[in-house]
Amino acid sequence: MSLALSNNTSSVSQVETKVQTPQDLLINKIAFEIPSYQRPYVWGGEGVLKLLQDIEQAFIAKEHQYYIGTVLSSKLSKKANKDASVSFELIDGQQRMTTLMLIAIAFKKANVDCELSNVAILAHFPRVTFSIREMVQGLLCSWTDLEFTHKPSDEDIHKNEYTKHLAEALNTATSFIKEIRKDSKKGEAHLVNFAKYFYQQVRWVNNIIPAGTDLNKLFATMNTSGVQLEQSDILKSKLLGKLSKNRHEYDGLWQVCENLNNYFERNVRRVFTASNWKKIQDIDLASFDKTKFKLIDTNMLQDLSDKGSESVRGLTLEEIISDESLLEKPESKQSSSSSAEDDEVFCRSIIGFPLFLIHAFRIYRAQAGNEDIESRVNGERLNQAFEKFVLKASELEVIKFLDCLWQVRYQFDKWVVKWVEKAEESTAVLRLSNVNFSKTQSRLNRVPTEITELSQLQSVRYFTGERSAQYWLTSFLGWLVKNNTEDKNIVLAKLEDIDNKMSLALFHTELSQKQASFNYLTKTDGSFGSSNEMNDYLKQINGTGFEHYWFQKLEYVLWKNEQNRADEKFKKYRISSKNSVEHVHPQHEEYDKRLEDNYLNAFGNLVLLSPGENSSYSNQTVGKKQEDFKAKPVYDSLKLKQIFELKQNDGWDKDKIKQHQKEMVDLLTKHYY
């Protein structure tokens, strides 16, 4: 939700805007209250991990500040926290502010020596309070060691829609802190400095509306009187403003590409309504052909041209803002060919449109023989990435980029996984889909595929590395645009090659993932590294300091090489988000039977699990873990499956750890040749 009051709304001048940081909340004794009409907290582990990783990257890059967006609030005359100097009711932005508090709680529980750990509390109350939700309030109080009247049981926490994602988010933040602490390259000093950066440099804009504002009228205004321009809207206006003709067609092209939460051909059919969809095949969508994809019929276009250049020239940003119809999103447009089915959403993209635009721009630059963009790859830095291009690009260059954008979007939908829900599955799963032509409907239809090597390997890439950048997409989509193949085996081989080279580049401090992904397209000289370096790395004694990528990569190789594919537990297995390294032989076992560090913390004695899976095994003996593993309806980890098959009824000792590690490292090494 975003605020843009219409020009004739007098109260707009009364809106107060403040840039705030966690430090401001602490120093100025600011509190927030979540009103009862707000929906439950839904971010959970995945969103929190992505945010933490991105802020850490900004910290490492020494960026001056990190913006997390805007919130909309109203000052409260009656404060829920009597010790607060000022209290705000959060009309919009509770997900972000709650996440900040959960991260602060995680730092407090981990006893990190930093001011951030004090942000979640204001005197005797949580800084963020929840109106009429006693269970949530009691949970926050218990996590911050405050007095509480009602704390839910562990069972209730994971069942209640208002608490289950809170617990998941806190577990993820706690695991993130533990991983930094145990990383020999980072450690406690890195953690303290990161917390200081978070405390001082993470910022948001608080738009404060006057007390007593009629919220019903406000929401009506927000929904009908204008649309807050996104970064991509501003970029669109600048690029299309450089076109002297065919602006309407390229405006349609942009609309087709920007709605990532629906399939490409559905967007094309909705926007280019005058096209002959009885003849258009999937292969026709690979490039933008104005003779095939028509917004309106030729006679209507001629009428527009007869009215003069005013109707086809590029519009200024001010004109776009004043003409609300130009800001409609493609999913809100209706046409004579629309149906109820067209309004359904069948998928959810793994990235947002701003980040997609940056990947398309990098591919365009590689095609043109230009250098990579200077700014960090992140959707929040969209206009910085395009800044020089917008200033200097000719009309022809803009058209070439827009044509490239269409091609990248086509390949994106054809070969990149999306979150898809199927009736037999309880949650959305990352999967691909096939495009078929229905003769009865005269249209292209999508059919989700079963889990494949392509979808599993992309899951490895998606869940590891820099989640906010997804660098592999530049290499993968760039190659697909250039080659436009239909052969799934060739595409898989290429993705494996990209993944192998980018993973080996991790061992080279002078070659970042950003550079590696661009070099792959431009064939820039320079080695990506060898599998010998991977081999040496996995033989080190790193314990929980091992990069999570190598566990996930091994899961993919094990999945690909599994012989018993009819095993029901295997058939249900998916590579998923995991961020907690677990010792199979526990660090503290019954009767204090402890292994030497060079076995205990070896790759052969470790598996990667989700925080929930990790806590379910806890510090149990290997035998008890094995029994729990067998009782589960799906494998937690294929590496763990290998371990328990090797152990069988015997003990899990030094020799077995050495044997398992050698088998796994050999399997990975073979995959690289």
Reported as a single tens digit per residue, the pLDDT across 614-623 is: 667 776 888 8
Percent of the chain clearing pLDDT 70 (strictly above): 80
Please determine, for residue 327, whether its predicted confidence score (pLDDT) is greater than 60.
no
| Token duo for residue 572 | 């249900």
Most confident range (mean pLDDT) of 77-91, 127-141, 263-277, 494-508 is 494-508
Is the pLDDT score of 12 beyond 50? no
* Half-sphere exposure at residue 12, Cβ-oriented, CA atoms within 13 angstroms: 12
Predicted pLDDT at 673: 84
For 392, other C-beta atoms within 10 Å of its C-beta total 8
Residue 10 binned pLDDT confidence (cut-offs 50, 70, 90) = very low
Provide the whole-model pTM: 0.73
pLDDT for 13: 43
Q: What pLDDT is stored for residue 37 in this prediction?
A: 65
Question: What are the strands, taking DSSP E only, across 421-549?
Answer: 429-431, 433-438, 443-448
Q: For position 314, what pLDDT does the model report?
A: 41
Q: pLDDT tens for residues 50-89?
A: 899 889 988 988 888 888 888 888 888 776 677 888 888 8
For residue 418, which amino acid is it?
A: K
Identify the CA nearest to 607 among candidates 637, 577, 630. Answer: 637
CA-closest candidate to residue 129, choices 161, 83, 195: 83
Q: Is the pLDDT of residue 655 over 80?
A: yes
Query: What would the two tokens of residue 522 be?
Result: 């431009």
Q: Which residues contact 350 (CB under 8 A, 6 or more apart)?
A: 416, 417, 418, 419, 430, 462, 470
Instruction: Kindly report the three-state secondary structure assignment for every residue of 252-312.
Output: HHHHHHHCCCCCHHHHHHHHCCCCCCCCCCHHHHHCCCCCCCCCCCHHHHHHHHHCCHHHC
What was the pLDDT predicted at 6? 35
pLDDT at site 239: 92
Helix (H) or strand (E) holding 164: helix 164-182
- Give the model's pLDDT for residue 306: 46
Q: Which tokens in the block code for residue 215? A: 């919220």
Mean pLDDT to the nearest integer, 366-373: 95
The more confident residue out of 424 and 223 is 424
Residues 630-642: pLDDT tens digits? 999 999 999 999 9
Cα-to-chain-centroid distance, residue 663: 33
The model's pLDDT over 34-44, given as tens digits with 9 standing for 90+, comes to 876 667 788 87
Predicted local confidence at residue 311, as pLDDT: 36
Q: pLDDT at position 559, please?
A: 97
Closest CA to 373 of 458, 464, 468, 471: 471
Give the H/E segment covering residue 192: helix 187-201
Q: Which residue has the higher pLDDT, 507 or 364?
A: 364
* Backbone CA torsion sign across 348, 350, 353, 356: negative
State the DSSP code for 424: T
Note whether 356 and 256 are within 8 A (CB): no
- Give pLDDT, residue 524: 67
Q: What is the DSSP letter of 118?
A: G
- Who wins on pLDDT, 587 or 225? 587
Do 412 and 477 meet the contact criterion of CB atoms below 8 Å apart? yes
54, 84, 87: which is closest to 69 by C-alpha? 54
CA of residue 582 relative to chain centroid, distance: 25
Helix or strand run (H / E) with residue 614: helix 611-617
pLDDT class for 124, splitting at 50, 70, 90?
confident
HSE-up of 643 (CA within 13 Å, CB side)?
A: 31
H or E, element range at 581: strand 580-583
Q: What does each C-alpha distance from 221 to 215, 216, 228, 326, 328 come to in angstroms?
A: 10, 9, 12, 18, 16
Is residue 162 pLDDT above 90, yes or no? no
Confidence band of 490 (pLDDT split at 50, 70, 90)? very high
User: pLDDT for 513-542, tens place per residue?
Assistant: 999 999 999 986 566 878 899 999 999 998
Backbone angles phi, psi at 118, to 5 degrees: -95, -5
In SS3 terms, 63-75 reads as CCCEEEEEEEEEE
pLDDT digits (tens, 9 = 90+) for 98-119: 899 999 999 999 999 999 999 9
Nearest to 30 by CA among 96, 85, 91, 95: 85
Q: Are strands 30-34 and 86-92 parallel, antiparallel or unpaired?
A: parallel
Closest to 269 measured CA to CA, from 327, 343, 324, 320: 343
Mind listing the pLDDT tens digit for each residue in 233-245?
888 988 998 998 8
How confident is residue 446, by pLDDT bands cut at 50, 70 and 90?
confident
The pLDDT value recorded for residue 320 is: 40
Most confident residue range from 212-221, 306-315, 362-371, 439-448: 362-371
DSSP three-state, residue 16: strand
User: Could you tell me the residue ranges of all domains in the chain?
Assistant: 10-224, 229-528, 543-671
Contacts for 347 with CB less than 8 Å, ≥ 6 apart: 261, 262, 263, 418, 419, 420, 433
- Residues 259 and 263: their CA atoms lie apart, in Å, by 8
pLDDT tens digits for 171-185? Answer: 899 999 998 988 878
- When pLDDT is cut at 50, 70 and 90, the band that residue 421 belongs to is confident
DSSP state of 81: S
What is the token pair recorded at 246? 């065919």
- Mean per-residue pLDDT, 466-488: 94
393-413 as b/e, with b when 16 or more CB fall inside 10 Å? beeeebbebbbbbbbbbbbbb
User: At how many degrees (to 10) do helices 94-109 and 164-182 cross?
Assistant: 50
Write down the pLDDT at residue 656: 94
Residue 632's closest CA among 557, 570, 566? 570
Q: Which amino acid is at 487?
A: D
CA atoms within 13 A of residue 522's CA, in its CB half-sphere: 20
Confidence of residue 254 (pLDDT cuts 50, 70, 90): very high
CB distance 278 to 270 below 8 Å: no
For residue 252, give Cα distances in angstroms to 149, 256, 330: 57, 6, 9
pLDDT band at 439 (very low <50, low <70, confident <90, very high): low
Q: What is the H or E stretch that residue 17 is in?
A: strand 16-20
CA-closest candidate to residue 539, choices 636, 647, 668, 648: 668
Let me know: does 137 contact 129? Beta carbons within 8 Å: yes
The stretches of 30-122 forming alpha helices (DSSP H) are: 44-60, 94-109
